[in-house]
Chains A and B, each alone.
Chain A
């Protein structure tokens, strides 16, 4: 029986070296789902930014804290949630990177990237601590949901 949604989860330690692992998995999923090359490129970028933010700003490179990534392949959209285990923050208080006074800042564009490349981006505090960013990208219509009910998903996803 085919499920309405398929879920792939990955947990990494807070190390930049693992970001490529997540983006490789992202590429596998977007290819499997049927996103075109251009969309897949920018989804990859949005996921990279969200995981990098979780490692750098959320967990502050504390390797004892994990970053939890969940891909939900729905009929209508691909949803990606990224949770850190840091102290949390209010995204509304962050400087606007497009403000002329901030254009030359070396940092602060990650959330702009995510909001630009995805159809929806929301932040919320996790009840057990940390922040969760939820992103979604609509799928083109009439694409079947791939059946992931067999096999080792994590193994396939990283291309090993």
Chain B
């Protein structure tokens, strides 16, 4: 499996620890299903911990954008935690740095939902 997602609950916030690659096909679909299942269960405060993600292709970036929008439309927020330098480079290239709320500290990310 290219992408592994571990779910952790901190109060009413869900932290998704992600490891591997978010690429066209299985990786993107897995991210979509995981977030959509959470939203379907009424869990709309979501943090994606990208510290373990080594590679995100344009499909993966598109999926991040898409889940950001879907979560917002569901009345929630999807925030990014610990993106690697390469992921930040990609977000800058695609002008998406300002679209996402990005945190380098998990507690700060959790507090931002309060």
Q: Which residues of A contact B (CB under 8 A)?
A: 16-17, 19, 41, 45, 48-49, 52, 56, 97-98, 103-110, 112-113, 116
Does more than half of chain B's interface fall in helix, strand or loop, or is it mixed?
A: helix
B 12-53 binary contact with A (CB < 8 Å = 1; else 0): 000000000001110000000000000000000000000000
- Flag if A112 contacts B24 (CB, 8 Å): no
- Flag if A45 contacts B62 (CB, 8 Å): no
* Residues of A close to B96: CB separation below 8 A: 103
* Residues of B close to A16: CB separation below 8 A: 24-25
A-B pairs, top 7 by smallest CB distance, nearest first, are A109-B58, A106-B62, A106-B66, A16-B25, A110-B58, A52-B24, A113-B58
At the interface, yes or no: B104 with Cβ under 8 Å from chain A? no
In the complex, the number of residue pairs spanning A and B with C-beta atoms less than 8 Å apart equals 53
* Residues of A close to B57: CB separation below 8 A: 45, 48-49, 52, 113
Chain A, Cβ-Cβ closest to B69: A104
* Residues of B close to A110: CB separation below 8 A: 58
- Flag if B24 contacts A98 (CB, 8 Å): no
- Flag if B25 contacts A97 (CB, 8 Å): no
- Flag if A19 contacts B94 (CB, 8 Å): no
Chain B, Cβ-Cβ closest to A102: B95
Q: How large is the interface on B (under 10, 10 to 19, 20 to 34, 35 or more residues)?
A: 20 to 34
Distance between B92 CB and nearest chain A CB, rounded to angstroms: 10
In the complex, given contacts A19-B25, A106-B65, A112-B58, what are 19 additional A-B residue pairs having Cβ atoms less than 8 angstroms apart? A16-B25, A45-B55, A49-B58, A52-B24, A52-B57, A52-B58, A52-B59, A97-B94, A98-B94, A103-B94, A106-B63, A106-B66, A107-B59, A108-B62, A109-B61, A109-B94, A112-B93, A113-B57, A113-B58
On whether A116 and B93 interact (CB within 8 A), knowing A52-B57, A105-B62, A107-B62, the answer reads yes
CA distance in complex: A103, B42 (Å)? 27
